[in-house]
């Protein structure tokens, strides 16, 4: 029981939630299993929504602490490890785990001082591939293929239960000795810096391939789990290469100038 007071549970992020009742139901199951921090990304009907309190069944502290963001990138900016809950990987190659495996991974990461979270999509459309590409793993619930309908609160409840069971039953956590990975804001800044320079160099061709190519790059680089220092080093490499390209272009322009008679 002492571990429960030591480890802060994962943050729960709901992307583009449509119904206040579902947000309240999520708050209720979070409270059931000891999770308390809920973040909303662009809720359809804004926030706060009175109907959420009715279905939260007294889990008021979860709803009162809700923070609202415009994008997933902003909502996970201070987190170093985020797992996206989705029924299928969708063109990405992050590790795919069950809720039980994910709970153990998050437990070890949280015990090592990392800020961790679970990202859930909206009731109808789920998560965008571009948002999944910002995460470090995928959590998929192994439900029976004959009936794959699972509502939002149920999905959160299963993952929240596995977290609590892991905290109560797991052996001592596996502590990291290495420097922790950079948070979401630093990582996203690196991605966008690289993409700007690659775009200027004509890498994204044809232009309609930009979205899929950039997502593949983000997933590939995300698997490396760069530390903050490694992000700074990699951005330095990008800057050096872009400046070098500028010098080459200037030299070519000078060489192409006509010689005065």
Q: For position 89, what pLDDT does the model report? A: 61
Q: For position 3, what pLDDT does the model report? A: 45
Q: For position 161, what pLDDT does the model report? A: 97
Report yes or no on whether pTM surpasses 0.75: no
CA distance 73 to 60: 26
Mean pLDDT by 10 residues, the chain (261 residues): 64 95 97 97 94 95 96 96 83 86 94 93 86 93 88 96 91 64 87 87 83 84 84 86 68 62 47
Task: Report the top-level CATH class of 2-169.
Answer: alpha beta
Q: Enumerate the domain spans of the chain.
A: 2-169, 184-256
Q: For position 206, what pLDDT does the model report? A: 84
CA distance 70 to 93: 26
Which phi and psi angles does 149 have, rounded to 5°?
A: -80, 120
Cβ-contact 213, 91 below 8 angstroms:
no
Distances (CA, A) of 207 to 40, 91, 203, 220: 32, 19, 9, 20
Q: For position 162, what pLDDT does the model report? A: 97
* DSSP states of 153-194: HHHHHHHHHHHHHHHHH--S-----SPPBP-HHHHHHHHHHH
């Amino acid at each position: 029981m002492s571990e429960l007071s030591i480890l802060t549970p994962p943050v729960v992020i709901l992307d583009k939630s449509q119904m206040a009742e579902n947000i309240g139901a999520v708050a209720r199951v979070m409270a059931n299993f000891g999770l308390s921090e809920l973040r909303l990304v662009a809720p359809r009907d804004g926030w706060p929504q009175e109907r959420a309190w009715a279905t939260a069944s007294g889990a008021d502290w979860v709803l009162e602490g809700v923070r609202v963001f415009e994008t997933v990138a902003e909502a996970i900016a201070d987190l170093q490890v985020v797992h996206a809950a989705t029924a299928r990987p969708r063109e990405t190659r992050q590790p795919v785990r069950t809720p039980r495996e994910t709970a153990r991974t998050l437990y070890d990461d949280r015990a090592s001082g990392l800020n961790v979270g679970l990202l859930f999509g909206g009731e109808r459309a789920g998560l965008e591939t571009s948002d999944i590409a910002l995460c470090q793993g995928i959590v998929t619930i192994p439900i029976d293929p004959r009936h794959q309908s699972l509502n939002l609160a149920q999905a959160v409840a299963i993952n929240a239960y596995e977290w609590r069971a892991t905290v109560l039953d797991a052996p001592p956590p596996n502590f990291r000795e290495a420097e922790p990975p950079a948070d979401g804001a630093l990582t996203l800044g690196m991605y966008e810096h690289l993409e700007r320079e690659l775009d200027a160099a004509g890498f994204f061709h044809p232009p309609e391939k930009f979205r899929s190519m950039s997502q593949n790059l983000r997933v590939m680089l995300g698997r490396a789990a760069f530390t903050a220092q490694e992000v700074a080093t990699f951005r330095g490499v990008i800057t050096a290469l872009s400046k070098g390209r500028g010098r080459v272009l200037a030299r070519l322009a000078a060489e192409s100038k006509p010689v005065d008679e």
